[in-house]
Homo-oligomer: A and B are copies of this chain.
Amino acid sequence: MIALHDIKSPKPEDFPSELEGLRMTKQRREILSVILSKRDHPTANDVFLRAQKRMPTISLATVYNCLEALVSHGIVRQVNFERESSRYCPNLNDHCHFQDESTGQIHDVTFKKGVNLADFLELPQGTEISHLEISLKGRIGSS
């Protein structure tokens, strides 16, 4: 089973016309391909700028609309660092984010295998988590 985000350099044409019950319009396809084609974590505006290269008439409102559609259908993840603008991530595996304060770059951080949340947190019993976000900031030492 090969996940969408494993595809190397996807062209918009590579996507079916419907995905996870979401109609794949050409704008949505373009935006998805922008997000999948570079493993960084672009903001909506970054996505807009990149999408404009191949689709000069796309609007920022559409970028926001498409991102919201992709996120709510679980095709793309939305990532937040404090009050900064949201970023978007194609990695659907369980992971969290580390922002290197010296470069601004965001790195995916996976969980050690076998661990699960409840092992770490003193959660009130009966808690059902629907959404989890872990964001780290710091530096990578030269050692």
Q: Are B112 and A121 in contact (CB under 8 A)?
A: yes
A133 within 8 A of B: yes
Q: Is the interface of A mostly helix, strand, loop or mixed?
A: strand
Q: Are A109 and B129 in contact (CB under 8 A)?
A: no
The interface on chain A, measured as residues whose beta carbon lies within 8 A of the other chain's beta carbons, has a size of 38
Mark the stretch among A10-18, A21-29, A35-43, A78-86 that contacts chain B: A78-86
Mark the stretch among A45-53, A59-67, A134-142 that contacts chain B: A134-142
Given contact pairs A126-B142, A128-B140, A133-B134, enumerate 15 new A-B contacts (beta carbons under 8 Å): A80-B80, A83-B86, A98-B129, A111-B120, A115-B119, A127-B139, A127-B141, A128-B139, A128-B141, A130-B138, A131-B138, A132-B134, A132-B135, A133-B136, A134-B134
Residues of B within 8 A of A139 (CB): 127-128, 130
Q: Can you list 29 contacts pairing A with B, beta carbon distance less than 8 Å?
A: A78-B82, A82-B133, A101-B130, A109-B122, A109-B123, A111-B120, A111-B122, A112-B120, A112-B122, A115-B119, A115-B120, A120-B120, A126-B142, A126-B143, A127-B138, A127-B139, A127-B141, A128-B138, A128-B140, A129-B137, A129-B138, A130-B139, A131-B136, A131-B137, A131-B138, A132-B134, A132-B136, A133-B133, A134-B134
